[in-house]
Amino acid sequence: MGGLPAGRVEPVEHDYAEWERRVDALMVLLSGIRGGRKLMTVDELRKNIEALPPDAYDRMGYYERWVTSITQVMIQRGVITSDELGRKMAEIEKRG
Amino acid sequence: MGEARFKPGDRVTVRKAYPLGHIRTPFYIRGHSGVIERLCGTFGNPEELAQQRSGEPKQPLYRVRFMQKDVWPDYRGDPGDALEVEIFQHWLE
């Protein structure tokens, strides 16, 4: 990948989980390509994926990288704050 | 800046530069020479779009054909194998 040494690429078919479809839809909506307010670009998505530490990049799945990057962009652009995110995550965790 | 300076068949070299930021030109292809295969169109500059700026003026994007044996010193495939990479004009000279 990216010209670095790596093993064979093993293509596998798989279905998408519901949360993965939602992350994809989120990106479509935030990109403004279906109308509505444009809140991020695909280039910001890529930039923040590239900024993941290598071990996190390797550990995460495709859409986990996406949702992490989308969240970073929303914080960078001031759509949400880290404080709001942290409190919401704690609230949801309490629901169990 | 937005005018297409190259045409199919032109030989080009990818700039060997390593700036910080969001760069779409792969590391492994920088410094290599290839041939313009086609003009793909003009698009907002991703280096600017990634930083919440407009990406204007739009930049010509080319598909550039490189020979695999030139890119990878230990390439063992067919010597006629090619690799095509889409590269923005400001990375080509």
pLDDT of residue A33 exceeding 90 = no
Does the residue B48 lie in any domain?
yes
Note whether B22 contacts A50, CB cutoff 8 Å: yes
**How many domains does the structure of chain B reveal?**
1
Q: Which CATH number characterizes residue B82's domain?
A: 2.30.30.50
Does the residue A76 lie in any domain?
yes
State the residue range of the domain holding B81.
Answer: 11-91
Does the residue A36 lie in any domain?
yes
Does the residue B6 lie in any domain?
no
Q: What is the mean pLDDT of residues A59-82?
A: 97
Residue A91 makes CB contacts below 8 A (sequence gap 6+) with none
Q: Which CATH number characterizes residue A62's domain?
A: 1.10.472.20
Q: What is the mean pLDDT of residues A20-44?
A: 94
Does the residue A6 lie in any domain?
no
**How many domains does the structure of chain A reveal?**
1
CB contact at 8 A, B33 and B70: yes
Which pLDDT score, from 0 to 100, does residue B43 have? 97
Note whether A41 contacts B49, CB cutoff 8 Å: yes
Does the residue B3 lie in any domain?
no
pLDDT digits (tens, 9 = 90+) for B8-47: 999 999 999 999 999 999 999 999 999 999 999 999 999 9
Which pLDDT score, from 0 to 100, does residue B1 have? 55
* % of chain A exceeding 90 in pLDDT: 81
* H or E element in which residue B65 lies: strand B59-67
Q: How far is Cα B13 from Cα B30, in angstroms, rounded to an integer?
A: 8
* % of chain A exceeding 70 in pLDDT: 99
CA distances from A32 to A39, B64, B71 (A): 7, 30, 38
Does the residue B80 lie in any domain?
yes
pLDDT digits (tens, 9 = 90+) for B45-80: 999 999 999 999 999 999 999 999 999 999 999 999
Q: Does B57 touch chain A (CB under 8 A)?
A: no
CB contact at 8 A, A67 and A85: no
Interface test with B, best of A47, A49, A70, A75 (most B CBs within 10 A): A47
Note whether B27 contacts A3, CB cutoff 8 Å: yes
Does the residue B23 lie in any domain?
yes
Does the residue A66 lie in any domain?
yes
